[in-house]
Amino acid sequence: MKKALITGITGQDGRHLAELLHSKGYTVFGMVKGQNNPRAEQIRTDFPYIELISGDLADVLSLGTAIEFAQPDEVYNLGAVTYVAFSFSQAELTANTTGLGVLRMLEAIRMVGGQQNNPIRFYQASSSEMFGMVRETPQTELTPFHPRSPYGCAKVFGHNVTVNYRESYGLYACSGILFNHEGPWRGLEFVTRKISSAVARIGLGLQDSVALGNLDAKRDWGFAGDYVKAMWMMMQQDQADDFVVATGISHSVREFLDLAFAEVGIDDWSRHVVLDPSMLRPAEVDVLVGDASKAARELGWKPEVDFPQLVKMMVRHDLAVESAKLSK
């Protein structure tokens, strides 16, 4: 039976990945930060099979201790400061966690797994935000990076150091350059879930409007449940490598709004959306679209949930959440 250690277990992808690995018979360890993380209790309730370990990407000793304890075959580094807008206000924290945290984890793996023939496989959660002001469309594994936020800059460091440790020390270290992926477990700060939650409440008559920023931004949105499968596939290859994971189709925030409001029977949503300049970013990523043909060819990966299905899934989930609150 294989063992996996997941950082970022309390986040969206941590949950999906834990579910996937458990279904494959893995023993799953999840790293939780903080002395009394309120999200840990929810993980204990929802996923009783996960063994939680205390640790922080800012503390290399805690990472070494966690690896020593779990003795994992595979480490999935999903932990990070992930909200791009927030990364502008706490740039140093972001660089330390999202960037240097990757280096610390790689060093911890080297410390515990040994310098040669290290058996521990490492997955780094790289991001399409590294492409930022895109140099070509669609973006591939070879597209140059031009990050537009402290988050994007930190992810570029994490990506490069992963490649460097693979090349320098022969570690099985791979990096998934994942484009935006969403679902019912997405944090409420991200635009898709912010919209699905607000639309559900508007549909039920619980609120009138939602305040948003740049409605013209375009993203290549997929379903998180599909994307964690690609993470696992990357870790099962003969040789570690890097892969773009994307649907290949880009949609605007406006299009997301169209489909989300249609789900609650509202065709003209203009009076329900307020433009809030405070949601605009100092530098924006206007449009992203990925070319995942390498992942299709070499991993056999393809997305199963399309954009309309994703929006429907999220709004229906939030309608159920809000209706359940009402009936209490």
What's the Cα-to-Cα distance from 260 to each of 2, 38, 142, 192, rounded to whole Å?
Answer: 40, 30, 34, 9
Judged by beta carbon distances under 5 to 8 A according to partner kind, the member of ligand NAP, ligand F7E, none in contact with residue 281 is ligand F7E
Judged by beta carbon distances under 5 to 8 A according to partner kind, the member of ligand F7E, ligand NAP, none in contact with residue 78 is ligand NAP
Does residue 143 interact with ligand F7E by CB under 6 A? no
The residue assigned the tokens 């964690």 is 228
* Tokens standing for residue 104: 């610390």
Concerning whether 263 is annotated as a catalytic residue, the answer is no
Concerning whether 197 is annotated as a catalytic residue, the answer is no
Among 151, 165, 172, 227, the active-site one is 151
Does residue 84 interact with ligand F7E by CB under 6 A? yes
Q: Which is nearer to ligand F7E, 128 or 175 (CB)?
A: 128
Concerning whether 26 is annotated as a catalytic residue, the answer is no
Smallest gap, in angstroms, from Cβ of residue 54 to ligand NAP? 10
> CA end-to-end span of the chain, whole Å?
42
Smallest gap, in angstroms, from Cβ of residue 213 to ligand NAP? 17
Does residue 253 interact with ligand F7E by CB under 6 A? yes
Secondary structure of the chain in the HEC alphabet? Answer: CCEEEEECCCCHHHHHHHHHHHHCCCEEEEEECCCCCHHHHHHHHHCCCCEEEECCCCCHHHHHHHHHHHCCCEEEECCCCCCHHHHHHCHHHHHHHHHHHHHHHHHHHHHHHCCCCCCCEEEEEEEHHHCCCCCCCCECCCCCCCCCCHHHHHHHHHHHHHHHHHHHHCCCEEEEEECCEECCCCCCCCHHHHHHHHHHHHHCCCCCCEEECCCCCEECCEEHHHHHHHHHHHCCCCCCCEEEECCCCCEEHHHHHHHHHHHCCCCCCHHHEEECHHHCCCCCCCECCECCHHHHHHHCCCCCCCHHHHHHHHHHHHHHHHHHHHCC
Size of site (CB under 6 A) for ligand F7E: 23
Among 201, 219, 229, 251, binds ligand F7E (CB under 6 A): 219
Smallest gap, in angstroms, from Cβ of residue 189 to ligand F7E? 6
In the window 68-127, what residues touch ligand NAP (CB under 6 A)?
Answer: 78-82, 97, 125, 127
Judged by beta carbon distances under 5 to 8 A according to partner kind, the member of ligand F7E, ligand NAP, none in contact with residue 84 is ligand F7E
Does residue 213 interact with ligand F7E by CB under 6 A? yes
Among 2, 22, 39, 316, binds ligand NAP (CB under 6 A): 39
Among 5, 7, 240, 259, binds ligand NAP (CB under 6 A): 7
In the window 151-190, what residues touch ligand NAP (CB under 6 A)?
Answer: 178, 180-181, 187
Active site residues: 127, 129, 151
Rule CB under 6 A: which residues touch ligand NAP? 7-14, 31, 33-34, 37, 39, 56-58, 78-82, 97, 125, 127, 178, 180-181, 187
Rule CB under 6 A: which residues touch ligand F7E? 82, 84-85, 127-129, 179-180, 189-192, 194, 212-214, 217, 219, 253, 279, 281, 284-285
